[in-house]
Amino acid sequence: MTFAGKVWRLLVGIKDALVLLFMLLFFALLYAGLTARPNPGAVHEGALLLDLDGTIVEEASEIDPLQILLSGADIAGEYPARDLIRAIDTASGDKRIKAIVLDLSRFMGGGQVHLSEVGAALDRFRASGKPVLAFANGYIDSGVMLAAHANEVWVDPMGGAVVTGPGGDRPYFGGLLEKLKVNAHILRVGTYKSAVEPFTRNDMSPEARRNYTALYDTLWEEWQADVQKARPKANLDMITDDPVAWLKASRGNAARAALAAGLVDRLGDRIAFGQRVAEIAGADSGDAAPGNFAHTALAPWLAANKPSQSGKAIAVITVAGEIVDGKAGPGMAGGDRIAGLLHDALSDDDIAGLVVRVDSPGGSVSASEEIRRAIMRHKARKIPVAVSMANVAASGGYWVSTPADRIFAEPDTITGSIGVFAVIPTFENTLGQFGVTSDGVKTTPLSGQPDLLGGLTPQAEAMAQAAVEDIYARFLTIVARSRGKSATEINRVAQGQVWDGGAARQIGLVDQYGSLDDALGWVAKQAGLGDGEWHASYLGTKLDPYHSVLQQLMQGSGKGQETAGMDIIALLSSRRANLFAGLTREVELLLGSRNAQAYCLNCPSLPRLTASKTGLSGHIAAEPLSRELLTRIFAM
């Protein structure tokens, strides 16, 4: 009994300790929630601090606290471009805001369209007579493009700036698969199917090289034009023609080289920069530490400047990230989730029109079609429907754009990629090297198919090829009906080719240049609504009430002065990390089991760092046909 009593007391003690622990955790979270949630009352006279410690995106991902806790990793911030633009535009007319401060010390970039839109907003702010000041330990392409719109660009004397330009090499697995004797069954339609090239070749085909040379040249020209217009004194030729000579001219000092090329205006550490901002915006009365200045952070500023809700609603549905089956998102375009949001909005008679904002390289064919059908149900109400393309609207991203009455894109939007391919790897030759064979009884030529270990029968491969051709034919038909052309005309500009916004406009895949605001204005005009008679209503943007709490707890306090910056080497290394993440993604595409996809793998990847959403530049059209899809084809 004595032993049993001791065990009982031990169990009771453990129980009491756990109860106390959970109570402390509950009250800690409650306190964090009360202190970390954006408070409109936290707006102060001084600077608007945009501490961009992450990426600019179309739609912020939902934070999964369990995933973060299990991985033990910090999350990178995600800043929707429209939030930044609204913050900047409202600050320009507010007397409390004396300047905007861009802290780009841990800025990981964004799509070129988003950077251009935020840069234009900064130009409007400067036109109001207020300055923009930027600081970073190091700048690379995205940071250079954004900082170019500042009156004063500062860099730490230990840092610098580098311009690499778009493009680069990618891995090819043809030789490896040959050595491993993996039989990669290639199912394809059209000429420009460079998506399958990494699994069949050791280099890029001439057709793919021509297509991507034209695309990257356009993106590079647009980048240079944006930076040169914002910063005419910048000598981009000096930086890009012979970067080694440029650096040597400053005796290897990257910061002074950036100053000589006109990419930055001042060299100084964070404290010196903060003192300069304090001269304009005032000192921080609550914290007299060196380098601090009076400021308002982004979250409370947005909370204090909510968008207007007057007049009729023009619904905006966002299709951002990979298009997948199910309810995934925000940050990924779950077909069920987006179709559900559109279905719920059908009952709202106050909706005068619909804008579909697309920033996606595509994904699941079935999910893309589900979203397209949901948009068509809105179109059946006889309301105007427009599509606004952001950085990428390719493959499945173009599929969901087809119901539009009018398609808007930017010159550096990447679109098209109308094509389908599949790769089905089988390992009969690989296993044969180790004496592994397969045998059995078959009642039909399709019994046991697809057999990834024993190989595909000719009948199975022929049926899979027919399925790919059927999906491609459907894609062509949908696009042709949408654009008022024949399938033959669309086929000439399809076949997996990727186009920049300007080229897409010339060949009829896009109607006109324009931003999301332009698309909203067009829909309002078609609905007979004038200025002040409508507002944008973003469907599905209400985040969990604890989202901002988790974001601030995971990212820190939000005071840029306390954030350790990343120099050029760290910034370039982070891009290499994305490359390895993309390499893993491509192996998954070869071996993974997924449904048929319409996916642009070679579209330049967007720098999304949360939940492994970054991808290597890959190619057009579709992921491998999976066993699940083949199972449906073969009715097994």
User: Can you give the three-state secondary structure of 195-220, one letter per residue?
Assistant: CCHHHHCCCCCHHHHHHHHHHHHHHH
Per-state percent for the chain, helix, strand, coil, to nearest 5:
45, 20, 35
- Exposed/middle/buried for residue 437 (C-beta within 10 Å: 0-12, 13-18, 19+): exposed
What does the pLDDT average to over 297-326? Answer: 93
Q: Is residue 231 part of a domain?
A: yes
Residue 72 lies in a domain: yes
- Which among 144, 150, 142, 165 is positioned nearest to 57, based on CA atoms? 142
The answer on pLDDT for 636 being more than 70 is no
Instruction: Quote the tokens at residue 295.
Output: 């400021």
What span, in angstroms and rounded, lies between the C-alpha atoms of 330 and 314?
20
Interval 524-538: pLDDT, tens: 999 999 998 999 999
Residue 115: inside a domain: yes
Contacts 24+ apart (CB under 8 A), 546-552: 546/33, 547/62, 547/63, 548/36, 548/37, 548/38, 548/299, 549/29, 549/32, 549/33, 549/36, 549/37, 550/63, 550/65, 550/68, 551/63, 551/75, 551/77, 552/36, 552/299
Compute the residue count for the chain: 636
**Percent of the residues in the chain that have a pLDDT greater than 90, as a whole number:** 55
CA distance 572 to 580: 13
Q: What is the pLDDT of residue 29?
A: 59
pLDDT band at 265 (very low <50, low <70, confident <90, very high): very high
**CATH code, domain carrying 51:** 3.90.226.10
Distances (CA, A) of 92 to 129, 189, 277: 9, 52, 17
What is the band of 47 on the pLDDT scale with cuts at 50, 70, 90? very high
205-247 confidence digits (pLDDT tens): 888 889 889 999 999 999 999 999 999 999 999 999 999 999 9
Residue 310 lies in a domain: no
Question: Would the pLDDT of 115 be above 70?
Answer: yes
For residue 628, is pLDDT > 50?
no
d(CA 249, CA 195) in angstroms, rounded, equals: 42
Catalytic residues: 193, 395
Confidence bin at 69 (pLDDT 50/70/90): low
The pLDDT assigned to 624 comes to 35
Question: Residue 560: its pLDDT value, please?
Answer: 40
- Per-residue pLDDT reduced to its tens digit, 504-524: 999 999 999 999 999 999 999
Note the pLDDT of residue 623: 33
Buried b (16+ CB within 10 A) or exposed e, 445-460: ebebbbbbebbbbeeb
DSSP state of 347: T
Domain that holds residue 243: 42-165+214-304
In which residue are the tokens 């076949």 written?
495
Residue 359 lies in a domain: no
Contact residues for 490 (Cβ-Cβ < 8 A; gap 6+):
418, 476, 479, 480, 483
pLDDT of residue 269: 96
Question: Cβ of 40: how many Cβ atoms within 10 Å?
Answer: 13
In a 10 Å sphere around its CB, with 0-12 CB exposed, 13-18 middle and 19+ buried, how is residue 389 labelled?
buried
Q: What confidence score (pLDDT) does residue 10 get?
A: 75
- HSE-CB for 205 with a 13 A CA cutoff: 16
* Cα angle for residues 533, 537, 538 (degrees, 5° grid): 155
Is residue 383 within 8 Å of 351, Cβ to Cβ?
A: yes
DSSP per-residue string spanning 539-574:
TT----TTHHHHHHHHH----GGGSPP--HHHHHHH
- Mapped onto helix, strand or coil, the DSSP state of residue 392 is strand
Distance CA 509, CA 494 (A): 10
Query: Looking at 60-64, 185-189, 474-478, 554-558, which range is the least confident one?
Result: 554-558
Q: What are 177's two structure tokens?
A: 């698969």
The segment with the largest mean pLDDT, out of 70-84, 234-248, 553-567, is 234-248
**pLDDT (0 to 100) of residue 173:** 86
Mean pLDDT across the chain, nearest whole number?
Answer: 84
Q: Tell me, yes or no, whether 24 lies in a domain.
A: no
Matching residue, tokens 């009352």: 41
pLDDT at position 339 is: 96
435 in a domain, yes or no? no
Q: Which residue has the tokens 């179309």?
A: 58
Residue 82 binned pLDDT confidence (cut-offs 50, 70, 90): very high
Question: Is 551 a residue whose pLDDT tops 60?
Answer: no
The pLDDT tens digits of the residues spanning 156-192 come to: 999 999 999 998 888 888 898 889 898 888 887 766 6
- Nearest CA among 619, 620, 624, 621 for reference residue 170: 619
Q: Is residue 85 part of a domain?
A: yes
Is the predicted pLDDT of residue 43 greater than 90, yes or no?
no
Query: Residue 527: CB partners within 8 Å, gap ≥ 6?
Result: 312, 314, 352, 353, 383, 384, 534
pTM of the model as a whole = 0.84
Q: Look at the chain and report how many structural domains it folds into.
A: 1
Quick one: pLDDT at residue 620?
Answer: 30
With a CB cutoff of 8 Å and minimum separation 6, the contacts of 71 are: none
More confidently predicted of 573 and 175: 175
- Residue entry with tokens 């394809």: 188
In percent, the amount of the chain with pLDDT more than 70 equals 79
Per-residue confidence (pLDDT) for residue 208, from 0 to 100: 86
Q: For residue 186, what is the enclosing H or E element?
A: strand 183-188
Could you tell me which of 153, 58, 163 has the C-alpha nearest to residue 103? Answer: 153
How far are the Cα atoms of 61, 71, 333, 358 from residue 77, in angstroms, in the given order? 10, 17, 19, 21
Q: Cα 348 to chain center, whole Å? A: 30
Give the pLDDT confidence score for residue 227 in this predicted structure.
Answer: 97
Burial of 4 (0-12, 13-18, 19+ CB in 10 A): exposed
Identify which has the larger pLDDT, 280 or 562. 280
Highest mean pLDDT among 90-99, 198-207, 532-541, 622-631: 90-99
Residue 470: CB atoms within 10 Å: 13
